[in-house]
Copies of this chain bind each other. A is one copy, B any other.
Amino acid sequence: MSTDPAVTPANVPLLDHHCHGVTTGDLDRASFEALITESDWDAPEGTTHFDSQVGFAIRRHCAPVLGLEPFASAEAYLERRRELGGAEVSRRLLRATGISDYVIETGHKADEILDPDGMADAGQARAHEVVRLERLAEELIIGGCPASGFRAAFARVLDERRRHAIGVKSIAAYRIGLDFEPTRPAAADVDAAVLRWIDGGADAVRLDDPVIIRHLLWEAVERACAIQFHIGYGDADVDLHRCSPLLLTEFLRLTRASGARVMLLHCYPFHREAGYLAQVFPHVYFDVGLAINYTGSRSDDIIAESFELAPFHKILFSSDAWGAAELYHLGALLFRRGLARVLDTFAERDDWPEEERARVTELVAWRNARRAYRLDDPDGSDAR
């Protein structure tokens, strides 16, 4: 594994190991504002979601990509967006990212956004898929799967999807909190829980039963999958105090030797805790994705904090973008900048040589992800 010393954070290709599809629709102001916040509601009267780090970063960095002056007003920006059309805007912003690979999680409102093929096309990049475990289970129930056949059907559909997908994702953080019982549940308990779930009726399609979610996780562990976990920061539907990655400690002990790898996503404001887990557990990786585009001018500092306890072979890049092409663009741009700045600081403080900076750059930009997701394995999947 040798690295060209001319590699820098500015020119390295990026593997975005966790994002969703982009929208190509034409967006009115309300729709656009809804995409640039994790809030589910409008900004208070007299205010706008543009008055935030991500809003300022859009005006500063995305406006020029659309042919406007930096810090064009929100109105001018949205006007220009409409002129160009959503599809063209997405193409421009994505193609300027230098992202070579999008790893796309398809389980959230998939009908409103591009699928992996569409993303590959819009971004002129490779696209890979990650499957959301909870959605897979919900689709079975929606499709009429009986409780008695659930475990077998889930195993079958997971195996099928894994022929293409390079990993799975869990939103246990949202549904049950990360303080769930870490052991594999007994089959009979799973069957009983599925029965209760089905009996819950139409409202109950949303899976939030801990026994079932633990079953899904352990099915993935047994298959030695790369398993992404939502951690930390998200929308108002999450109980953030139950989203510290430390709550997974016992689950990580139990799965250490399984062959599964665990990717802790976003992690803010628990990224230092995530770095600790990435040091002590050989199968744990992490990123500070969502906290990069959403903290804008402060993202340098958060990226710096992610280089503390975590070994350099455990840090990943993601944008965690959903919908707005601006979020991919800023995720990449701010990550490159923050990485450059932190490596410069380390060179200043401790004389990190150019070739070591280049090597660490490649590790976090794409090599760690290719290794962790086993993208270079002959069978092209994450199977053992």
Give residues in A with beta carbon < 8 Å to B: 1, 37-44, 46-49, 51-53, 56-57, 60-61, 70-71, 233, 235-236, 239-241, 244, 246-247, 249-250, 252-253, 256, 268-269, 272-273, 276, 279-283, 291, 294-298, 300-302, 304-305, 307-313, 337, 345-346, 349-353, 356, 360, 363, 371
Of chain B, the residue at the smallest CB distance from A48 is B313
Question: Is there contact, CB below 8 Å, between A308 and B312?
Answer: no
Q: What's the Cα separation between A304 and B305 when bound, in Å?
A: 13
10 more contacts with CB within 8 A, not counting A56-B350, A239-B250, are A47-B371, A52-B310, A53-B307, A71-B353, A71-B356, A236-B280, A240-B276, A241-B247, A297-B352, A337-B349
Question: Is there contact, CB below 8 Å, between A350 and B41?
Answer: no
Task: Assess A307 versus B298: contact at CB under 8 Å? Given A236-B281, A268-B272.
Answer: yes
Q: What's the Cα separation between A276 and B42 when bound, in Å?
A: 16
Contacts of A71 in B (CB 8 A): 351-353, 356
Of chain B, the residue at the smallest CB distance from A47 is B313
Q: What's the Cα separation between A1 and B60 when bound, in Å?
A: 22
Question: Is there contact, CB below 8 Å, between B239 and A249?
Answer: yes
Question: Is there contact, CB below 8 Å, between B240 and A1?
Answer: no
Q: What's the Cα separation between A300 and B346 when bound, in Å?
A: 11
Question: Is there contact, CB below 8 Å, between B239 and A246?
Answer: yes
Of chain B, the residue at the smallest CB distance from A359 is B51
Neighbour of A39 across the interface among B48, B269, B272, B281, CB < 8 A:
B281
Q: List 5 A-B contacts (CB under 8 A).
A: A37-B279, A60-B350, A71-B353, A300-B349, A337-B349
Contacts of A235 in B (CB 8 A): 280
Contacts of A37 in B (CB 8 A): 279-280, 311
Question: Is there contact, CB below 8 Å, between A294 and B309?
Answer: yes
Q: What's the Cα separation between A363 and B47 when bound, in Å?
A: 10
Of chain B, the residue at the smallest CB distance from A281 is B236
Question: Is there contact, CB below 8 Å, between B39 and A279?
Answer: yes
Question: Is there contact, CB below 8 Å, between A311 and B47?
Answer: yes
Question: Is there contact, CB below 8 Å, between B295 and A39?
Answer: no
Neighbour of A60 across the interface among B56, B244, B351, CB < 8 A:
B351
Question: Is there contact, CB below 8 Å, between B249 and A51?
Answer: no
Neighbour of A236 across the interface among B47, B253, B311, CB < 8 A:
B253
Contacts of A351 in B (CB 8 A): 60, 70-71
Q: What's the Cα separation between A73 and B378 when bound, in Å?
A: 31
- Give min CB distance, A361 to chain B, whole Å: 13
Question: Is there contact, CB below 8 Å, between A297 and B349?
Answer: yes
Counting from the closest, the 6 A-B pairs by CB-CB distance are A241-B246, A269-B272, A47-B313, A236-B280, A297-B346, A52-B311
